């Protein structure tokens, strides 16, 4: 069990590194988009979630759980980008 937990912990650290990179892209997007209304793009959101679901299916990961996780991830990313957009322009 210790090896499994160590693997989970290492995976969690890798995920945080990847999320840090993702949020860096959200900061970049906030700088690039000239209008706050451009931050929320429902078409792009759907495409990102659909891609995650397809990847999950291909890897044998529960698609419904990944869809829910990605919904939360994308909504959190949008909220963060909006905060950054406001911060940059205040």
CATH number of the domain where residue 73 is located: 1.20.59.10
The pTM of the full predicted model, rounded to 2 decimals, is 0.92
pLDDT of residue 89: 95
- The CA distances from residue 39 to 7, 26, 27, 65, in Å, are 36, 9, 11, 25
pLDDT of residue 55: 98
16-75 confidence digits (pLDDT tens): 999 999 999 999 999 999 999 999 999 999 999 999 999 999 999 999 999 999 999 999
Buried b (16+ CB within 10 A) or exposed e, 17-48: eeeeeeeeebbebbeeeeeeeebeeeeebeeb
pLDDT of residue 47: 98
Structural domain of 53: 2-89
| Residue showing tokens 């322009």 | 89
Q: Which residue stretches of 1-90 are H helix?
A: 2-32, 42-59, 63-89
pLDDT of residue 60: 98
User: How many independent structural domains does the chain possess?
Assistant: 1
Distance between first and last Cα of the chain: 50
């Amino acid at each position: 069990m210790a090896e499994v937990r160590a693997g989970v912990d290492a995976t969690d650290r890798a995920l945080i590194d990847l999320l840090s990179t993702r949020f860096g892209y959200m900061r970049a997007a906030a700088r690039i988009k000239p209008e706050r209304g451009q931050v929320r793009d429902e078409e792009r959101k759907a495409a990102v979630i659909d891609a995650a679901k397809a990847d999950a299916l291909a890897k044998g990961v529960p698609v419904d759980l990944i869809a829910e996780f990605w919904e939360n991830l994308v909504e959190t990313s949008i909220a963060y980008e909006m905060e950054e957009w406001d911060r940059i322009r205040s």
